[in-house]
Amino acid sequence: MKGLRLIEFRIDRRSGVATYLQLVHQVKQALRLGLLGPGDRLPTAREVVEQTAINPNTVLKAYRELEREGLVEPRPGLGTFVRRSLVTPGVAEDSPLRGDLLEWMERARGYGMGREDVEALFRSVLDQRF
Amino acid sequence: MSVAVLARGLGLRRRRGEASRDCSFELAAGRVAALVGANGAGKSTLLKVLAGLLRPAAGVVEVTGEVGFVAQEKPLYRSFTVAETLRFGRVANPGWDADRADRLVEEAGLPREARVTRLSGGQRARLAVVVALARRPDVLLLDEPLSEMDPVARQETLRAIMVAVAETGMTVVLSSPVMGELEGVCDHLLLLDDGAVRLACDVETLLADHRIVVAPLGADFGAHRVVETREGERQVTAMLRVTPGLDLPAGLVSEPSLDEVVVAHLRRAGVAA
Amino acid sequence: MIWFAWRQQRLALLALGGYALVVVAVMVHHRFTMPGRFGDEELRACFASLASSCGITEDGWNASSAIRETAAGLRFGVLGFVALAAVFAGAPSLSREWEQHTHLLALSQSVSPRRWFAAKVGVVAVPAVVLAALLGATYAWWTSGLGALIGAQQRLQTGRFEAQPLVMASYALFAVVLGVVVGLVVRRVVPAMAVTLVGWLGALYAVRWYVRPHYATPVVERLGNGVADGRWTLLTGFLDRSGGFVEQAVVDGPLRACAQGAGNRFESCLAEQGLVGRAVLAHPADRFWLFQGVEAGLFAALAGVLLLGAFRWLHHRYRQPISHRPPSRGPLSRQPVPR
């Protein structure tokens, strides 16, 4: 099946992160951002392999992991389908939280902070709270 | 899960006339195994034994189904054209998949009427892999298949092999001098040293089992197996094979990459030898 | 597989075919252009008695010696084909595979080593045998027209015996198989060629000198004044009174001493030694087909032994590892992932 895929995987071979985990993270990221939603079909192992040249067993392992977390379900003969979304109200494009964060970042820029400064600050608060 | 490749007490070397018998492992069907080891460790010998082209000095080999093999020399009939090489594959193999062969040759951009002598080393290697893939083997053995290829060809060749794995569930063993390009490709590791298999395990298990710990000099690593240590002025960096259930020693702990684990084990084997 | 084996060897095979056809064409040409009188009975008797008085002109003698030289050259060309086939088509057949490592390719395909080997041998051996037989037949036909010079009655002689169709065919079979099998052992093209050439010539020499004379028990023939009738002479010597054969070397000394004595005639010397006349130990000309058959059978059997040995070795050496039943082919079935 050629055509547009709902998700394009990118594998970073040097990251040190296990390949199947990279796939899991990327699917979750897409679920959080709403790029993938319930009922969407994930690409088949063959399609992913064609695109990334990784081991198909790795793709299957990633999908099993997602299945274990209840995010996707295999439908025999049809493929692997998304069961539930990870979109939280705060992540959507038009959510007030996003607006607040945008505003906060503008202010940080106003203080002359660079990307790394913002990241460090964000991370330290993130670690404090979560 | 069925076993595709099994070696028991295999002797790849003779020492003082006596065959060594320390190459034993098994590989489940559908796995993609990297065969690594220093030059002269016996990688090519092991692959030829598995392919039935060399009789081992001792031991038993069992391989399930049709075996495809690409030798390190990427042998092809030099006076043949690409098209004639494919015709050879067809007449020599009842299970020849002509469509797959044509598709792979096209993907690789190999001119069908070109003679093999006229192809570059990388193109020849690709053609050799195409011939091996098109006969639809159950077990595919590749001896340094990527060594002469440029980065694009490497990626495309790995992709073609992985697609075949996805389509047919075949088992692959491929030897390589470098590990980096095989991350994400191989799910199994066979580490060979002086004719003996030192490591034969699942890649993820291997990664999960190893940690790099940076600790003060003289730190006690307890029951964990130390693969390798490097001592600095004040601290020691150790690659540990951790024993499950035990606490890791105090210090800065990080997860190694596959490359790091393999290199540490190869170095250890080299020191021991 | 035949296409494959042919494709590998086609240059050598085409060259061999061209060579054989040229030699055949030269013989055919000679047969039709040589003076007709070489077949005459009268001339035959004339040559046999070696008398200069039977009216042969200078031109006649010149023509006859020219045709003898041509015949010797063509015999060389006919027999040379066997060596060429063995060295340039037989020897490289497998040695080149090993030299270029392509045996690793060929032997790791589905086709069995024995079928591969059979195709490689067959594609060289069959044309070589056919061409060799053609060359031998043409030589036999041509010389049959030469009458007294080197006609059919002399075909048991070394040099003519070997250029006959039946033995040529079996020589070609043996020599080509020898070349292929040497390639399997030596595994380098040029050394394999050299070993093949030496091996073939050595085998032919050994058979000629040590085996062929024993195909049948030679008979003793007293030499008269008649025409030599094409027998194959092994030893010359004398006949004693009881009809036994005495080798020349045995009585050479006494005879010589006796003949040098004053007034003694050679005949009385013979009688003194108990000998009645000159004789030879020889195979009569009518044993030609027997000898052809035995020699052809011998070389064919040698080829068979070589082939059998190579087959067994290949089977033993390149047997696939123990293999279970092949697994069912198909996509990864554990997961419901559609194709």
pLDDT tens sequence across B190-201: 998 888 888 898
User: Does the pLDDT value for residue B246 go beyond 90?
Assistant: no
Cα nearest neighbour of A60 on chain B: B166
Q: What is the percent of chain B where pLDDT is above 70?
A: 95
Please check whether residue B205 touches A, CB under 8 A.
no
Q: What is the pLDDT of residue C338?
A: 41
Collect all residues of chain C within an 8 Å Cβ-Cβ radius of residue B50.
Answer: 321
Are C110 and B78 within 8 A, CB to CB? no
Give all chains having 3 or more CB-to-CB distances under 8 Å with chain B.
A, C
Cα nearest neighbour of B86 on chain C: C4
| pLDDT-based confidence at residue B98 (cuts at 50, 70, 90) | very high
Are B207 and A18 within 8 A, CB to CB? yes
Please check whether residue A1 touches B, CB under 8 A.
no
Neighbours of B35 (CB within 10 A): 27
Are C4 and B48 within 8 A, CB to CB? no
Distance of alpha carbon C339 from alpha carbon C337, whole angstroms: 7
Q: What is the percent of chain C where pLDDT is above 90?
A: 51
Across the A/C interface, how many CB contacts are shorter than 8 Å? 32
Collect all residues of chain C within an 8 Å Cβ-Cβ radius of residue A79.
Answer: 336-338
Sign of CA dihedral C261, C265, C268, C269: positive
Across the B/C interface, how many CB contacts are shorter than 8 Å? 113
Distance of alpha carbon A73 from alpha carbon A42, whole angstroms: 10
Sign of CA dihedral B26, B31, B34, B40: positive
Task: Name residue, tokens 């002689």.
Answer: C157
Distance of alpha carbon A44 from alpha carbon A60, whole angstroms: 9
Neighbours of B227 (CB within 10 A): 18
Collect all residues of chain B within an 8 Å Cβ-Cβ radius of residue C100.
Answer: 75, 78
Across the A/B interface, how many CB contacts are shorter than 8 Å? 55
Collect all residues of chain A within an 8 Å Cβ-Cβ radius of residue C338.
Answer: 44, 77-79
> If you average pLDDT over residues B136-147, what whole number do you get?
93
Collect all residues of chain B within an 8 Å Cβ-Cβ radius of residue A18.
Answer: 204, 207
Interface ipTM > 0.95: no
Please check whether residue B32 touches A, CB under 8 A.
yes
Distance of alpha carbon B109 from alpha carbon B153, whole angstroms: 10
Q: What is the pLDDT of residue C39?
A: 55
B36 in helix, strand or coil? strand
Are A74 and C338 within 8 A, CB to CB? no
Q: Are A35 and A6 in contact (CB under 8 A)?
A: yes
Q: How far is CA B112 from CA A94, B87, B96, C217, in A?
A: 56, 11, 18, 65
Furthest CA-CA distance within chain C: 119
User: Does the pLDDT value for residue C333 go beyond 50?
Assistant: no
Long-range contacts of A24-31 (CB under 8 A, 24+ apart): A24/A62, A24/A65, A24/A66, A27/A62, A27/A66, A27/A71, A27/A72, A28/A66, A28/A71, A28/A86, A30/A6, A31/A71, A31/A82, A31/A85, A31/A86, A31/A87
Angle, CA of B84, B90 and B94, to the nearest 5°: 165
From the CA of A52, how many Å to the nearest CA of chain B? 7
From the CA of C321, how many Å to the nearest CA of chain A? 27
Q: What is the percent of chain B where pLDDT is above 90?
A: 44
User: Does the pLDDT value for residue B19 go beyond 70?
Assistant: no
| pLDDT-based confidence at residue C335 (cuts at 50, 70, 90) | very low
| pLDDT-based confidence at residue C109 (cuts at 50, 70, 90) | very high
> If you average pLDDT over residues C48-57, what whole number do you get?
56
User: Does the pLDDT value for residue A90 go beyond 60?
Assistant: yes
Collect all residues of chain B within an 8 Å Cβ-Cβ radius of residue C324.
Answer: 62, 64-65
Furthest CA-CA distance within chain B: 67
Q: What is the pLDDT of residue C133?
A: 97
Tokens of B51: 């392919």
Distance of alpha carbon B28 from alpha carbon B22, whole angstroms: 20
Residue ranges of B 163-192 with Cβ closer than 8 A to chain A: 163, 165-167, 180-181, 183-187
Say which DSSP state C209 is in. I
Cα nearest neighbour of A23 on chain B: B184
pLDDT tens sequence across C77-105: 999 999 999 999 999 999 999 999 999 99
Q: What is the pLDDT of residue C152?
A: 54
Are B93 and C321 within 8 A, CB to CB? no
How do strand B32-36 and strand B188-193 relate by DSSP bridges? Answer: parallel
Q: Report the amino acid identity of residue B49.
A: V
Closest CA to C277 of C220, C332, C320, C318: C220
pTM of the model: 0.83
Distance of alpha carbon A65 from alpha carbon A43, whole angstroms: 15
Cα nearest neighbour of C316 on chain B: B55
Q: What is the pLDDT of residue C151?
A: 53
From the CA of A109, how many Å to the nearest CA of chain B? 34
Residue burial A25-52, b: 16+ Cβ < 10 Å; e: rest:
ebbeebbeeeebeeebbbbbbbbbbbeb
Task: Name residue, tokens 């969407």.
Answer: A40
Q: Is C80 exposed, middle or buried (0-12, 13-18, 19+ CB in 10 A)?
A: middle
Closest CA to C295 of C177, C189, C195, C165: C165
Collect all residues of chain C within an 8 Å Cβ-Cβ radius of residue B66.
Answer: 110, 326
Collect all residues of chain B within an 8 Å Cβ-Cβ radius of residue A49.
Answer: 159, 162-163, 165-166
pLDDT tens sequence across C199-232: 999 999 999 999 999 999 999 888 876 556 778 9
Distance of alpha carbon B170 from alpha carbon B28, whole angstroms: 10
User: Does the pLDDT value for residue C328 go beyond 70?
Assistant: no
Q: Report the amino acid identity of residue B195.
A: G
Cα nearest neighbour of B153 on chain A: A53
Q: Are C133 and C225 in contact (CB under 8 A)?
A: no
Higher pLDDT, A20 or B128: B128
Q: What is the pLDDT of residue C291?
A: 96
| pLDDT-based confidence at residue C36 (cuts at 50, 70, 90) | low
User: Does the pLDDT value for residue C330 go beyond 50?
Assistant: no
Collect all residues of chain C within an 8 Å Cβ-Cβ radius of residue B62.
Answer: 321-324
Q: Report the amino acid identity of residue A100.
A: D
Collect all residues of chain B within an 8 Å Cβ-Cβ radius of residue C110.
Answer: 66, 92-95, 135
**B4-8, C52-56, C261-265: range with lowest mean pLDDT:** C52-56
What does the CA dihedral B179, B108, A46, A39 come to, rounded to 10 degrees? 120
Which of B163, B167, B184 comes nearest A58 by C-beta? B184
The count of residues in chain A is 130
DSSP codes joined into one string, B207-268: HHHEEEEEEETT---TTSEEEEEEE-SSEEEEEEEPPTTSPPPSSEEEPPPHHHHHHHHHHH
Residue B32 CB contacts under 8 Å (≥ 6 apart), including other chains: A55, A57, B162, B165, B171, B172, B174, B185, B186, B187, B188
Cα nearest neighbour of A61 on chain C: C335
Residue B86 CB contacts under 8 Å (≥ 6 apart), including other chains: B98, B101, B102, B105, B112, B130, B131, B134
How do strand B32-36 and strand B67-70 relate by DSSP bridges? Answer: unpaired
Q: Is C225 exposed, middle or buried (0-12, 13-18, 19+ CB in 10 A)?
A: exposed
Collect all residues of chain B within an 8 Å Cβ-Cβ radius of residue A58.
Answer: 184, 187
Interface test with B, best of C1, C104, C114 (most B CBs within 10 A): C104
User: Does the pLDDT value for residue A92 go beyond 70?
Assistant: no
Which of C108, C326, C331 comes nearest B51 by C-beta? C108
Hey, which residues does B67 pair with through a beta bridge? B139
Closest CA to C15 of C99, C92, C72, C73: C92
Please check whether residue C106 touches B, CB under 8 A.
yes
| pLDDT-based confidence at residue C270 (cuts at 50, 70, 90) | confident
Could you give the residue ranges of the DSSP H alpha helices within chain A? Answer: 19-33, 45-52, 56-68, 96-110, 115-129
> If you average pLDDT over residues B87-92, what whole number do you get?
95
Residue ranges of C 274-333 with Cβ closer than 8 A to chain A: 331-332
| pLDDT-based confidence at residue C116 (cuts at 50, 70, 90) | very high
Q: Report the amino acid identity of residue B199.
A: L
From the CA of C330, how many Å to the nearest CA of chain A? 13
What does the CA dihedral C281, C285, C288, C289 come to, rounded to 10 degrees? -120
| pLDDT-based confidence at residue C332 (cuts at 50, 70, 90) | very low
Give CA C249 to chain center in angstroms: 31
Q: What is the pLDDT of residue C337?
A: 38
Distance of alpha carbon C6 from alpha carbon C16, whole angstroms: 13
Cα nearest neighbour of B66 on chain C: C326
pLDDT tens sequence across A45-79: 889 998 888 999 899 999 999 999 999 999 988 88
Residue ranges of A 50-89 with Cβ closer than 8 A to chain B: 50, 52-58
Taking phi over 0 as left and psi of -120 to 50 as alpha, with beta for the rest, B114 belongs to beta
Q: Report the amino acid identity of residue C168.
A: M
